[in-house]
Structure 1
């Protein structure tokens, strides 16, 4: 796991010199505390009319595989290919054997060299063979092109800036912002999208002129032009066809699906246990992380090291179920009670999340990464299980709404404004308030309804926030991001469309960003077996009946792995990885929040009406409504402005 940065240019006036490359590289020192490397090729003319672009590649290394031989940038023996790479290729041993069979003599034991030689043989087709998490920058001196590649699910970040006669790239935006005189102009539509989703969706960033390479894409810069192409584009419209005894030929039997997921997930875990440094796992006591630990223990000859943090607030404390799993599996368990110091942590979050980011579970993720790094350098997680196997409660709501859609007059009654007259508590998660929000959206099409449920600020609330002149600058409908992903599952049921839309949007934009930034801030690598491409493609093809049956979520996982965990874990109600924001904003963080959001120096007032913010704070303080997620989003945006627009 590492940090990469650099650029390529065909105009000498836009060259990156050695000092600038060093600044760009060292801005990513937290991602790679074990080593650094640079490659710099000046723009020059090799022969008449043959200009060779200038190239800069920077790398910070977190050593995981081949500690002695895996330094980067890495080149082929003739120097014609140069590569920097962030991530891990889990099937590199199989690819290595393939390369040796073709006559290649590998000089290292690293996965990096495997990528180089595979590219030499197969060009841009090489990346389809990689099973892993990766962001790659490869300079091909023969073709005089720079190739950027990002993994299929967006586990590793890659941002870039394409301008006339130059392309810049980095693992994190902060690396590019070390370059003097680069503009820092906020994109108004990105603010609107951020306040919708709690993150800025790819391919855009918060700043105009800077982009994220989308998951499953590669980009090629050559002769001053940039082109992109999608190398991973699975057909989400098709369900798995694998008949068992008594099954129709168009469906997969439960027995066949159970056998296949056992094999695939076990293999995915085993591949991710390859490491030349100490390895462990996050353990929350939920189904997904517990299942990953159980499979790890099956493949380990010694107790797996597991890590849990707990809070002194019962509603947010998972120590008890985690301890139950650890005892059942015989792991070497480490736990830490944390009293979150949110005020002290906020500047660090703004520094490392160099785009506005409002998922408050970044706080516990930060603390568990900090604890885990004290003992190991690599940790496995359960990320992806909810999206792939319908684990979120909101998927049951999608299913219920689909049933109501077919009821005609009853739907009209449920969607009527009469339900909005019911009294309810100020708690956002009160059952009456949840029912109100559910019925408010029933009149909308399924995808728009789902967006309304998951939005931090719905369309009406956002419009009420903004100044008129800012509202006039908004050029995009935030719904386009979700709708494009939803439509990838055309012809399938709404629950499947919602799960796969989350896989393509929420997972890379929120969950993977949260884990990558929080873990890399502490020099920790986190691996997610559920996001093995084989598991993803198999799960995406499964019929809904094998994921959500009645009110039972993750049905197939329960059938396939039920005996591995205590019954109490399978029966346990899902708990989010959260913090008590509602209480903090009324108590510990009240004064700081009011100072940040209502002061004379508040920067977001350029876009957001102060009186709208004051209303949110007043309603929250008075317990009229729990606006904690919305307030957290505004605080995150303000802190980002103060850190990154003032520099």
Structure 2
């Protein structure tokens, strides 16, 4: 059977539903029941994630709710929750299982009977067949809740890379969970106790690293993990079912063309698996490496016309991806749609941020993604493919170069680094250059891992700056970043930084912003780079196939040169960073500073030192070489969150 025949067969046979899920399981001895109306409210808060349908399961001490966004098979057969034949296993599911058909056929041969064609039903029977071992066999993006009525156990499962979110709250009552915090906070026993250490971490990065959230006793389920809650014992146990393959340093045994062909084979297979849909599929296209590769692969596989989307500002060449995206689209022969954005469009999204961001995320690219997915939805698109994961797996970020140089500097004596740091600080103050000051702060850290962590924040507050901002003691616990960076000390810092970004920055910033902004418009996004086979290939790829001299993502550029001119392929990274935030904070967005960072508001809160905030703002307004927009925007986003969700 040909690849195209396989693809067409899957399109006919599959039933896929994106959605939002929520629910709870109470400890057996808990004296009170939860009213059904509470579960309905928790579920309907997720309406935007699944506007097509809703479904519920209730039993003594247990409630599961699901909102459905139908992608394939709009019939009631795909309505969640779904059950096994004896109704002893109940499943709700947000996402898609890409190897659904293969698993289904295998289960049918073993005697399992299916009521419909939903990929969620495959999870039901696969769990029946293999128990907890079944999660290792799933290929897809998913957040799953399985209630086993015979064992009185709840299983919460999250996909390998963290494409789909899943939060949970533990207490003496039992456990509650949801796709988004805005649903979880409606649970009667939820307590809004702020985790200030997590918010300190947010100030240094612009996002919160899993498993932490803004609240104490509330967690994000780690990617590649599942949680088992025992209703009888009121205990929970976290288990890992997948982790990144160990990077293998090796000298190239293949020539470049062999690496190119191997990558193309697994990448095209991944793209094909993510094209299955009965609703139109489109793609993000910035004209950059990752999105262009995705669209090029789609063009080779799909018979239907392909719609692609980009964003830009007509008045700004440096914040406008539309011309390059249009040029790439013309070469690839796809139907491209340019979204031209003005400040009013951006302001309309900023006004929604307090409600949208029930967990604070300060990456302004979220605004652009929201506008593009809304634009795509208006043009009839419900599913979009993105290039997420390409930069992390194939070394596409400038920070990889920075960490490489830092490694050399951190082999120097500490007094030499201190002298260099002091010199850069003096030069920064004299020249009023915030970049030099940032370089000085980087070198002031005691070791390579803390310096790398600071660089990962891309202009956020350093720990020392945070101490001044909060006028006292600050506790930054970055266990997951540090443990990831230090897990393979025998490897070059490039690999160590890549691993740290893959388990922190990718799920907690990039995939989180993508999920929130796209699902707010009821648009599903899929990331072909995030396939376990591609991750394994990447970790076994010689470093010179990722970085060649000053060229980042060398292999991906070589693949793309087969379909695009070299001048396009070799241009610097741009991506979907289309917002001139630094200029806007000095002009059109000043009202946010007056609203959220006014000295009297800061004094009343007693959280931040007003003088420190005022100094940063004044320096930024001067302009010249001062650029503190990231610090200011992080504070504004946090203040939005505190006002909307905490009431302070």
Q: TM-score, normalised by structure 2?
A: 0.91
Check whether the contact 2:247–2:495 (CA below 8 A) recurs between aligned residues. no
Cα deviation digits, residues 125-148 of structure 1 (max 9, x gap) = 101111111000010111111100
Corresponding position of 2:23: 6
1:231 aligns with 2:231: no
Match of 1:48 in 2: none
Q: Work out the CA distance in 1 between the residues paired with 2:367 and 2:641.
A: 16
| Residue range with higher mean Cα deviation, 377-386 or 576-585 | 576-585
Does residue 633 of the first structure (1) align with residue 634 of the second (2)?
yes
Q: For 1:490, what is the secondary structure of its paired residue?
A: coil
Which residue number in structure 1 is paired with residue 463 of structure 2?
459
How do 1:416-435 and structure 2 match up within 5 A? Answer: 416-422=421-427, 428=434, 433=435
User: RMSD over aligned Cα, in angstroms?
Assistant: 2.3
1:56-455 equivalences in 2 (<5 Å)? 56-68=63-75, 69-180=77-188, 182-222=190-230, 223=232, 224-239=234-249, 247=253, 254-312=256-314, 313-341=316-344, 342-374=346-378, 375-405=380-410, 412=417, 415-422=420-427, 428=434, 433=435, 437=439, 440-441=442-443, 444-455=446-457
TM-fit CA distance, 1:405:
4.8
How far apart are residue 492 of structure 1 and its match?
1.0
Name the CA shift for 1:404/1:119 in 2 (closer, same or farther; >3 Å).
same
Judged with a 3 Å threshold, the aligned counterparts in structure 2 of structure 1 residues 338 and 496 are, in CA distance, closer, same or farther, namely same
Does residue 646 of structure 2 align to residue 645 of structure 1? Answer: yes
Return the alpha-carbon distance in structure 2 between the equivalents of residues 615 and 11 of structure 1. Answer: 55
Deviation at 1:233, TM superposition (A): 2.4
Q: Within 2, Cα distance between the matches of 1:119 and 1:84?
A: 13
Distance of 2:407 and 2:260 partners within structure 1 = 27
Structure 2 residue 556 is the aligned partner of structure 1 residue 554:
no
Q: How big is the shift at 1:212? A: 0.8
Give the Å deviation of 1:480: 2.5
SS of the residue aligned with 1:563? Answer: coil
* SS in structure 2 at match of 1:38: strand
What is the rounded CA distance, in whole Å, between the counterparts of 1:403 and 1:225 in structure 2? 47
Q: How many Å apart are 1:238 and its aligned residue?
A: 3.4
Q: Check the 8 A contact 1:356/1:640 in 2, yes or no.
A: yes
Aligned-residue offset at 1:479:
3.5
Shift of the 336–235 alpha-carbon distance from structure 1 to 2, 3 Å rule, reads: closer
Distance in 1 separating the partners of 2:416 and 2:495: 22
Deviation at 1:58, TM superposition (A): 0.2
Alpha-carbon distance between aligned partners in 1 of 2:330 and 2:119, rounded to the nearest angstrom:
35
Shift of 1:406: 5.5
- Aligned to 1:402, the other structure's residue is in SS state helix
In 1, distance between residues paired with 2:606 and 2:56? Answer: 41
User: Residues 11 and 166 of structure 1 are in contact (CA less than 8 Å); yes or no, is this contact kept in structure 2?
Assistant: no
1:585 aligns with 585
Q: 2:499 and 2:150 mapped to 1: Cα distance?
A: 40
Give the Cα separation in 1 of the matches to 2:440 and 2:109. 58
Q: What is the CA–CA distance in structure 2 between the aligned matches of 1:57 and 1:598, rounded to whole Å?
A: 43
Match of 2:540?
A: 541
Q: Is the 8 A contact 1:277 1:377 kept in 2?
A: yes
Alpha carbons of 1:336 and 1:234: their partners in 2 closer, same or farther (altered >3 Å)?
A: closer
- Cα deviation for residue 411 of structure 1 reads 6.5
Match of 1:47 in 2: none
Asked if structure 2 preserves the Cα contact closer than 8 Å seen for 1:415 and 1:442, the reply is no
Deviations 1:288-339 (A, max 9, x none): 0011000000001132111112123221100011001110011011111011
Tell me if structure 1 keeps the 8 A contact 2:418–2:443: no
Greater Cα offset, 101-110 or 218-227:
101-110
Q: Residue 534 of structure 1: SS of its match in structure 2?
A: helix
How far did 1:103 drift? 2.2
Distance 2:643 2:20 in 1: 25
Contact 1:603 1:642 in 2 (8 A): no
User: 1:29, CA displacement in angstroms?
Assistant: 0.4
Q: Per-residue CA shift, 1:248-292, capped at 9, x if unaligned? A: xxxx65444322211111100000001111111011111100110
Give secondary structure in 1 for the equivalent of 2:352: helix
- Alignment partner of 1:478: what SS? coil
Q: Which deviations, in whole Å up to 9, do the C-alpha atoms of 1:469-521 show, x marking residues without a partner?
A: xx3xx5x5333331111123331110111111101100001001000000000
User: Counterparts of 1:633 and 1:604 in 2: how far apart (Å)?
Assistant: 19
Give the CA deviation at 1:26: 0.4
1:21 is matched with: 39
Task: Compute the displacement of 1:161 (Å).
Answer: 0.5
Secondary structure of the 2:57 match is strand
Instruction: From the superposition, tell whether residues 514 and 409 of structure 1 become closer, same or farther in structure 2 (CA, over 3 Å).
Output: closer
Structure 2 CA distance for partners of 1:75 and 1:100, relative to 1, 3 Å: same
Q: Distance in 1 between matches of 2:433 and 2:518?
A: 32
CA distance in 2, matches of 1:479, 1:165: 30
Q: For residues 337-366 of structure 1, give each alpha carbon's deviation from its aligned partner in whole angstroms, at most 9, with x where no partner exists.
A: 011334432231121110121111111111
- Which structure 2 segments of 5+ residues have no match? 1-17
Give the paired residue count.
619
- 1:602·1:638 contact (CA, 8 Å) conserved in 2? no
Q: Do the aligned partners of 1:84 and 1:136 also contact (CA within 8 Å) in 2?
A: yes
